[in-house]
Amino acid sequence: MKRTYDLSRLEWTLSGWVPNLWRLRAPVEVNKAQTSEVPAIPARVPGSVQMALRTAGLIPDWNEGLNYRACQWVENLHWVYEASIPDEWVAEGSSFRLECLGLDGSGWLRVNGAEVAAFNGSHRPHVFDLGSRLKPSGNVLTLIFDCPPRWAGQFGYTSRMTEWKVRFNYTWDWVARLVQIGVWDRIDLVGSDGAEIGDIRVGAEVADAGAALRVQGNVAGPAHHRVKAALMDGDVVVRDQVLDVAAFNRAGIDWRNLAVGRWWPNGMGEQRLYTFRMELVGEDGTPLDSVVRTVGFRSVAWRPCEGAPPEADPWICVVNGEPVFLQGANWVPIRTNFADVSDQDYRAWLTLYRDLGFNILRVWGGAVLEKECFYALCDELGLMVWQEFPLSSSGCDDYPPEDETFIREMRVVAQSYVARRRHHASLVLWCGGNELITTRDGSYLPVGDWHPMIRMLKEVVADMDPGRRFLPTSPSGPSVHAHLPNFGKGIHWDVHGPWSINWFGMADATLASWQDYWDRDDALLRSETGNPGASPADIICRYRGECSIEPIAAANPLWRRPLDWWFDGPQFIAEHGRNPRDLEEYVSWSQERQARALAIAVRSCQDRFPRCGGILFWMGHDCYPCAVNTAIIDFHGRPKPAAVAVGELFRQQSWRKAGSRIGSNPPGPGL
């Protein structure tokens, strides 16, 4: 029998130590030594070190002013999480293990003062066999986090980025540095006598012959134990089956011609979801273990854009036989300290995207595999997911590492990504990473599966999730960007940019030049584009800290937090011949300009469908209160005028009439 105990229920403490000094304390003491730099404080798990310190009043709010600088000392200590395990949890004589879905950083696990294992890597689960470490009573669990790597941020060399830490935390052009440390996802104590369900693969499929559910995996336990499986539509049984363990391990489950409804993207139809439950029972019918997956039945295919070069990648997404214009955003974590984001936060942000008419989110490769609730909500809300593996550009070079050890370690990460998320109906695409580029003959070219890292990722997807598309990187090229002189040459397939009106050598920084650019556009997909817009005045005032609002100029640190790339004050002066009279005038102008610019881009791409497959904005929401950024949803989760403007266009779905020219497939039996 398998028993799972959620360790978020425990009373955790957190203390900060001069590196390795904690090793010298008496093992029987639980956060009572007086030699810690930061004495024990209460902490939440999951949760970040930084939020525990902020709650205790030991560091300021890093979102205000330049306070993030006053928080960086946290990176220089070892942080010790500690909790006592209730005696009743270990009363039965099972074998125990600790399952940690997200440990942000590297460090060590101790049980009762003795080191059990080391861990390294924020992107993969860690499972620790506790063996005989647990006593009948008085057990103490200790997680110690090492000092994080010094730098893994936006600027540097991708080919040398081989640390297993979440990169955006180190500074990007839209977020100041806050290198999160702590437990960022679920952590459980699991007891088992050996009879349990192992890793299973649940695949919901739709083909011409109808809907099917296929389940494979392994179940540990006596061969005569039974597996009970059922597909449920609410309380109604769609299909069920009972088989012995040996039969399941040999052949799995293969149910065909299921009478189920289809899952549709937002705006195209209903999001029909079903519950697959599998239970392991003993000879006497005693439940020993169970697994539950939510599944949706849909088909996804990719067709060439109309008029595209014959060799071009296909960028018309066809769901259940119906062409879909991809209208979405690039998703980054809701907060820099993503360990502290609640399920309610996810629901609020994702519901807003749904209500605005978005149908796809690209989970960007510089961040992290989002928590399970993110994908479950995307299933529920009809938001398709483009999921990237944790690789991203760095500016000085954008070439993925070729180091064999790193590729071998990345294989484990990639396998864990796919195993944990492949059952979700919302997931439509795996991607190697963000802006992985090589330089050849003076040109910037996206990497392909000729690169050993990308080839390995492609192999993992083909082996573990063969029904889904794999894209080497975004942009996938052959041209990285779409410059005016190259329109009409057939080299703009999936491209990034522009990110502002004065980008890519336009004649001038005006809406007229922006309109001219989009009138000439020939890209098959715009997986990143945007234009800056100021945050609302109340956010700028709320988070200015000690910074002054005036002058509204890049010389003022408030307007270049963390960088001044997106500050559009010079464009205001160019249009008006003067500085803004006040904050409200500037914000109103900046937000209107962003709204008008993005509406132009959306109309252009929608009008060209099916010659263009879609547009995704960089970026969706602010995770840090930048005074100016390309985000269209502000730090508080409210739509800027740009989000309202593009939302109106997204909800109108003017592209659907054009899409009907492509044709559609009739539904299969029972669908």
Q: What is the pLDDT of residues 525-575, one digit of tens each?
A: 999 999 999 999 999 999 999 999 999 999 999 999 999 999 999 999 999
Evaluate if residue 26 carries a pLDDT over 90.
no
pLDDT higher at 132 or 321: 321
Average pLDDT estimate for 207-231: 92
In this model, does residue 456 exceed pLDDT 80?
A: yes
CB 294 within 8 A of CB 350: no
Q: Tell whether the model's pLDDT for residue 183 goes beyond 80.
A: yes
> Looking at the 3D structure of the chain, how many domains does it have?
3
Residue 312 lies in a domain: no
Give buried/exposed letters for 115-134 (b at 16+ CB in 10 A, else e): ebeebebbbbbbebebeebb
Residue pair 529/482 in contact by the 8 Å Cβ criterion = no
> Which pTM was predicted?
0.95
What local confidence, expressed as pLDDT, does residue 657 receive?
Answer: 79
Return the CATH number at 245. Answer: 2.60.40.10
Mark whether 101 and 240 lie in a shared domain. Answer: no
The answer to whether residues 137 and 158 belong to one domain is: yes
Asked whether the predicted pLDDT for residue 29 surpasses 60, the reply is: no
Mean pLDDT computed over every residue of the chain:
94
130 and 223 assigned to the same domain = no
Q: What is the pLDDT of residues 337-383, one digit of tens each?
A: 999 999 999 999 999 999 999 999 999 999 999 999 999 999 999 99
The residue among 192, 207, 238 that closes a domain is: 192
Judgement on whether residues 201 and 174 belong to the same structural domain of the protein: no
Q: What is the pLDDT, as a whole number, of residue 197? A: 95
**Domain interval for residue 162:** 2-192
Write down the residue that tokens 């009279």 correspond to: 581
Residue 463 included in any domain: yes
DSSP 277: E
Split at pLDDT 50, 70, 90, the class of 500 is very high
Give the residue with greater pLDDT, 34 vs 35.
35
Does the residue 305 lie in any domain? no
Q: Is the pLDDT of residue 623 over 90?
A: yes
Asked whether residue 562 is assigned to any structural domain, the reply reads no
Residues 356 and 423 in one domain: yes
pLDDT of residue 27: 57
Q: Is the model's pLDDT at 394 over the cut of 60?
A: yes
Looking at the structure, tell me whether residues 75 and 181 fall in a common domain: yes
Residues 187 and 210 in one domain: no
Q: How far is residue 139's CA from residue 64's CA, in Å, rounded to a whole number? A: 41
Each residue of 617-642: b (16+ CB within 10 Å) or e? bbbbbbbbbbbbbbbbbbbeeebbbb
Residue 117: CATH number of its domain: 2.60.120.260
Q: Is residue 306 part of a domain?
A: no
Taking the C-alpha atoms of residue 22 and residue 632, their distance in angstroms, rounded to an integer, is 45
The Cα 110–Cα 128 span in angstroms is: 10
Asked whether residue 247 is assigned to any structural domain, the reply reads yes
Say how many CA atoms lie within 13 Å of 555 toward its Cβ: 2
Pairwise CA distance, residues 3 & 194, whole Å: 11
Phi, psi for residue 324 in degrees, rounded to 5: -125, 125
